[in-house]
Every structure is written in structure tokens, then in C-alpha cells.
Amino acid sequence: MGKKKAFVLRVQPEMLESLEKWAQDEFRSTNGQIEWILNNALQKAGRRKKPKTATE
């Protein structure tokens, strides 16, 4: 995986609280949970390339 780029994300306090709780429930950091949600949404929408396997 390449370098990660930091950026500011503004969310409502209630949304952040919900994200933090969800992350704790799944043993992830809040940042990791947001990445997981975004990755799943991108894959579902067909907007993320599938990673190449070792045989390709």
C-alpha cells in the first residue's frame, strides 16, 4: 500500500460519537473505521480497483 495522505474531515459531533462507538464495537480505531466504511462503499459502487494478486 502507498503512503497515506492526511486531511481534515468535519463531521457533526453526534456522527463522530456514533463512529467512535462503532469503531470500539469492532475493535478498530476511529480512523480505521472510517477507512473501512469508505473502502466498502467504494467497492460496492464499483469505484475502487481490485488489488492485484501475487499471481498477476
Of 48 and 10, the one with more pLDDT = 10
More confident residue, 12 or 53: 12
Q: How do the domains of the chain map onto residue ranges?
A: 13-44
In this model, does residue 54 exceed pLDDT 70?
no
pLDDT at 21: 98
Tens of pLDDT, residue by residue over 1-32, are 678 899 999 999 999 999 999 999 999 999 99
Average pLDDT of 23-50?
94
Q: Is the whole-model pTM more than 0.85?
A: no
Determine what percent of the chain falls in helix, strand and coil, rounding each to the nearest 5: 50, 0, 50
User: How far apart are the C-alpha atoms of 42 and 18, rounded to whole Å?
Assistant: 21
